[in-house]
Structure 1
Amino acid sequence: MFCIAHTKSDASLNSTAAQEIVDKFKALTQESDSSTPTTEDEIYRQVVGPERHGRTRGYGLGPTPTTVFGTTPGRIELASQLRIANTQNAELKTKIDELEKKMDDDRRKMEERMMEERMKLEERMEMERKKTEEKMEEGQRKMDILLAFMEEINQRGNNSRGK
């Protein structure tokens, strides 16, 4: 940003002071790349020095820190915000507890319903199995009667031929 503000249309810097600042900035930037990481703002403060009281660097002459960044809340306001946040936090925890309890109740009810349905299904399956067995037994009895009748007919036929 400094370079843009202090560069002429022919791409040269406005003054030798500006050139010195740019050179120092580039040197410190290269040093910080090799050693510890440093932000551009920190490097700029090292080169140019701290901002005068009541001024905001990079925003021109008009804006002050208060207009750019706003005021910092006082202790009373922070304490009030903390109380509000704690109250909201407690309310949310209560709501979460209620929802978890409701979910547990719903889960328990659903498991009970599933058990009831499973029991009904098993009862129906048992009834169907018994009906099927009874039908098979009845069918077997009828087959036995039919076989006995056919056997008797065969014996009568054999007896009448043998005479």
Structure 2
Amino acid sequence: MSRIKFFKVAYSKKDGRPVNDVVAQALSDMDELVSQMLESSMQSSSTIDEVFTQVMGPERPGHVRTYGLGPSRRDVFGHKKSEEMQAMQSQIDEQLSRHKAEIKAKLLEMEAQ
């Protein structure tokens, strides 16, 4: 569930109306920015979360908006650094295997001469 959907659920009454005018304005702003993103066909979970941050403001250190006092960013979003490291490691592994193949091809070419 995206942070925008979570915000809508948390700050809406049972009939679906926002709890107050401030929440209604924030939801309206979020919907407008999301529709602009859909028109430009740039949609991913990170960009949706960026819309939430644009409307609600930056996070405070150690807290995640709409999740209360308990959870931290790591609890909600996981270890982003390790995911980035895994992606970088897979890129390095691919490059290494390509270089090995190139070296083998050159070695075979040199042996054939």
TM-score, L = length of structure 2: 0.54
SS for the counterpart of 1:52 is: coil
How many residues are treated as equivalent by the alignment?
Answer: 76
The root-mean-square deviation of aligned C-alpha atoms, in Å, is 2.7
Correspondence list, 1:130-141, <5 A: none
Taking only the aligned residue pairs, the percentage that are identical comes to: 31
Displacement after TM superposition at 1:59 (Å) = 2.6
Which amino acid in 2 is paired with 1:50?
P
Matching residue of 1:28: 33
Matching residue of 2:20: 15
Q: Which has the higher helix share?
A: 1
Displacement after TM superposition at 1:32 (Å) = 1.1
Correspondence list, 1:21-100, <5 A: 21-35=26-40, 37-38=42-43, 39-68=47-76, 69=78
Q: 1: distance between equivalents of 2:35 and 2:74?
A: 33
Q: 1: distance between equivalents of 2:33 and 2:80?
A: 32
Matching residue of 2:7: 2
- In our comparison, the structure showing a higher alpha carbon Rg is 1
Q: Where does the alignment leave 5 or more consecutive residues of structure 2 unmatched?
A: 1-5, 90-113
RCO higher in structure (CA 8 A, sep ≥6): 2
Which amino acid in 2 is paired with 1:10?
D
